Structure 1
Amino acid sequence: MFRNVLASFWALLLLVSAAQAQFQFFEHMFGGGGGQQQQHQQDQHNVPSDSAWYQRTWDGAHCNKYLCPGTLACVHFPHHCPCPHPDVEEKVELGEGSAICVSKGGYKPGEASRKIELARKGVL
């Protein structure tokens, strides 16, 4: 009698654990559940505004030339600073040692600097 009860208990436990594993598989497969995990991941990506972090990083940077404020790159001259997002920005030198980074905006290479030059001439 006791063996039958024990065998039934183990069979029930096996079925419950198999069902639990199946539901977990489908939740992960189709992105269901996991609301808390998803919220935690979003919180990790939302960086709070923290000027103290930037100041510590700036203070810890070693540069005997010019330290670019946007990228913390060490360059010889301010207009040599790289753009912070070179994949989507184009650096345009304006002359007299100044440069700006502008969005490529889907234009062909060099198009942003051509448009800036036309705007400086008052044509655009």
Structure 2
Amino acid sequence: MKSLISILLLALFSATASAQFGFFDQMFGGGGGGSGGGGSQQQQARQQQQRQQQNVPSDSSLYQQNYDNYPCENYLCPDTLACVHFPHHCPCPFPANEDKFETGDGHRLCVSKGGFKAGEAARKVELARKGLL
């Protein structure tokens, strides 16, 4: 009887420890999934494959193929692939981080918002346009 209670307590404690550490494995990227670490190995292999795909030599063929096959009857913006009527209507690639300015000669500028107070980027663009900056 005493050994049966010991076995039950041991089983209870090991189940509690397994659940507790399984929780930490999931919280801190250990994979888990009840596969004894196999899920973690698959996740690591997937991440390594993604890093290898990101670190390929410079090759613009995929971009060129998308650009050439993009349906646009007007002007196709080269950096955003937006289809607009005029080049200066192209949006900035990162509108949350950039302010857009249209120049008088039909171009647009995208200027980083970083560190400037509201309207400061526009003031600096205007000063540069006038040759004062």
Higher RCO (CA 8 Å, separation ≥ 6 residues):
1
Q: 1:52 aligns with which of 47, 61, 66?
A: 61
Superposed CA offset, 1:10-38 (max 9, x none): 87666544432221112333x26457546
Moved more, 42-51 or 73-82: 42-51
Partners of 2:117 and 2:47 in 1: how far apart? 36
Alpha-carbon separation, structure 1, partners of 2:29 and 2:79: 40
Q: TM-score, normalised by structure 1?
A: 0.71
| Pairing of 1:1-124 with structure 2 (within 5 A) | 8=7, 15-29=13-27, 31=28, 33-34=30-31, 37=43, 40-41=46-47, 44=50, 48=54, 50-124=59-133
Give the aligned length.
119
Post-superposition CA distance 1:66-95 (Å, at most 9, x none): 000000000011111000000110111221
CA distance in 2, matches of 1:88, 1:69: 19
One-letter identity of the residue aligned with 1:28: Q
Identity of aligned residues (%): 57
CA offset digits 1:23-57 (Å, max 9, x no partner): 1112333x264575468457647862552321232
RMSD: 3.4
Which runs of 5 or more residues in structure 2 are unaligned? Answer: 32-39
Using the TM superposition, name which of 42-51 and 83-92 deviates more: 42-51
